[in-house]
Amino acid sequence: MREIRLCARLNHQNIVPFVGIAWSTLVDLAVLSDLMPRGDVHELLQSERRFERVQNRRFHWRRAASSKEAADEMTTKTSVALDVGRAVSYLHDLSIIHRDLKAKNVLLSASFEAKLSDFGISRVTKLDETMTANVGTIAWIAPEVLTGDRYTTKADIYSFGAFLSEMDTLGTPYATETSTNCEGFSNARIAILVGIHCVGFF
C-alpha cells in the first residue's frame, strides 16, 4: 500500500505514470502504469552488447554526425542520463530516496524517453530518520550504506554514477572485479570491492 500511495502522488515526465491498481485479493495488489513499449535500459544495453564492433552499435553518448546514421539511432546515452537525472532531482526535492536506481528500473517510452520506475523500496525521508541499509541491488549501493551508515540522497547519486557506468560499459558495475555477476557476493565483499575504487566526496 505504501508503494501505491507513493506512486499516486508522483507527477513528472521522467517517472513512469501511475494509472491505478488491480487486485484479486487484498494481499495481491498490483500497481498499474503506462505501457513502456521500448522495455528497459538494461535490455537495450544487452542488445547493444551483441555488436562486437562499436561502429555497429546504435546507442552512443552523442548523436551521429551524418543524418543517415542519426536516423538509425534510437536515442543517446546522454538523453537517457538527463531524463533519469531530472527524475532523481524531482524525487529528492520531495525528500524521496529511490534506493534502487539501475538500468532495469529505467523504462523507455515509444519515443525513447527514459522514465524511472520501481518504487517498491523508495522511502520518504525525515530529518531524523535513519534509512535501512542493505536494500537495493548490491552493485549499485553506495559503500557507506553497505557498511551500515545512514541512507541519504547521496546514496542515490552514487547509484546514478553506477548507472552511468552501466550505460558506458554495457555491463554490470564491477563485473570485471567479480566472477560472473555481483549477485552471488556478500555485502561485505562488494563493499570492499567498491571501497577500493571509490573516491570519497562525502
Active site residues: 100
136 near 100, Cβ under 8 Å? yes
- Is 84 in contact with 103 (CB distance < 8 Å)? no
Please state the φ and ψ torsions of residue 157, each to the nearest 5 degrees.
Answer: -65, -40
The widest CA-to-CA distance across the chain, in whole angstroms, is: 55
Helix/strand/coil (H/E/C) assignment for every residue in the chain: CHHHHHHHHCCCCCECCEEEEEECCCCCEEEEECCCCCCEHHHHHHHHHCCCCHHHCCCECCCCCCHHHHHHCCCEHHHHHHHHHHHHHHHHHCCEECCCCCHHHEEECCCCCEEECCCCCCEECCCCCCCCCCCCCHHHCCHHHHCCCCCCHHHHHHHHHHHHHHHHHCCCCCHHHCCCCHHHCCHHHHHHHHHHHCCCCC
